[in-house]
A and B are shown apart, each in its own frame.
Chain A
Amino acid sequence: MDHFLLLVWHAFLVSIFFAFLWRSGRRERVKLFSKMFIVMVLGAVLLGWLMYPVP
């Protein structure tokens, strides 16, 4: 089981859901999806690095 893959899968599902919930046009949906997906994946990785020294 790859933890990072699960993170990406979770971010993918949530981003698609909110893109369709909050936006109506195709272009706007793609924009919101991309933004949310990148922020969630990179944000989690960054948070992981910041927490690395914490025991």
Chain B
Amino acid sequence: MRASSSQDRIEGGSEGRPAAPLPLLLAAWLIPGLGHLILGKKNRAAVFAAVIAASFLTGVVLHGALAVPQPGAPFSWLAFLACFGNGVLYIAGHLFGFGNGTAVTAGFGYGNTFFITAGLMNLLAVLDVSDISKGAKD
């Protein structure tokens, strides 16, 4: 008989794989590439860290803004979630003021896009770390 969905969640999926450890996923989110480095995927870790950092830095150079949720603007939450995917870069951007953005500059819109792209790539990398740690991917 098919196991219940709640049982699946406890076991980490329908194939009975254990769930990915939370500290590993947190490390992967906080510092791009760290999750893969911990799992011994050095090449992937280096490339992901470099690509995500390069995308983020391009956003900074173009005076983009790291999105924050705005009241009455539901789509700002999506931009926020994507930017928040940058982990420590997002936090540092707000702490040190290099992600505040300048709406009057020509690169503002492009800068936002690069911030969002970097965050989404890091979130995908976190999912990859989860899959690798569960043995679902090499």
Binding site for B on A (CB under 8 A): 1, 3, 6, 9-10, 13-14, 16-17, 20-21, 24
Contacts and interface: CB of A to CB of B under 8 A. Distances in A.
A20 B107 contact: no
B138 interface: yes
Interface of B: 43-44, 47-48, 51-52, 54-55, 58, 62, 106-107, 110, 113-114, 117, 121, 124-125, 128, 138
A10 B52 CA distance: 11
Contacts of A3: 110
B110 A17 contact: no
A21 B110 contact: no
A18 to B, nearest CB: 9
What is the predominant secondary structure among interface residues of chain A facing chain B? helix
Given A1-B106, A17-B121, A20-B43, A9 B58 contact: yes
